Structure 1
Amino acid sequence: MANTQYLLWVMIGTLTLLCIFIGVVVGRAKTPRIGTMTFAGLLAFFLVAIFLITR
């Protein structure tokens, strides 16, 4: 059985990398409106992916 502390650190690392990726993508947007739309699109994509994976 997997060590739960190991899995916790893997999840924390994955979420950190995901936050950095989203921050870089949104930060590179030319206008705040495009950045907000990009953030909303990425958030919706990841929520749908999580729903489909855990279903």
Structure 2
Amino acid sequence: MTQRTPLSHLAPGQQGVIAAVDGPEGLRQRLAALGFRAGRAVVVLRRASLRGPLHVRLGT
């Protein structure tokens, strides 16, 4: 069984594959337009403190 971890829980340097994009329809559409789709590889590059933005790289 594959473990699912929210993107916000990954540390810089950790990578994974997007299993699903959850949230309101408008947010899901915006993330899809940015390339966040199920099956895409993602790597966390940097995390801001205090739940700030994540910098990620999509694809390999």
Which structure's CA Rg is the greater one? 1
Give the number of the structure whose residues are more often strand, by fraction.
2
Same fold (TM over 0.5): no
Asked which structure has the greater RCO (Cα within 8 Å, sep 6+), the reply is 2
Normalised by the size of structure 1, how large is the TM-score?
A: 0.28
Normalised by the size of structure 2, how large is the TM-score?
A: 0.27
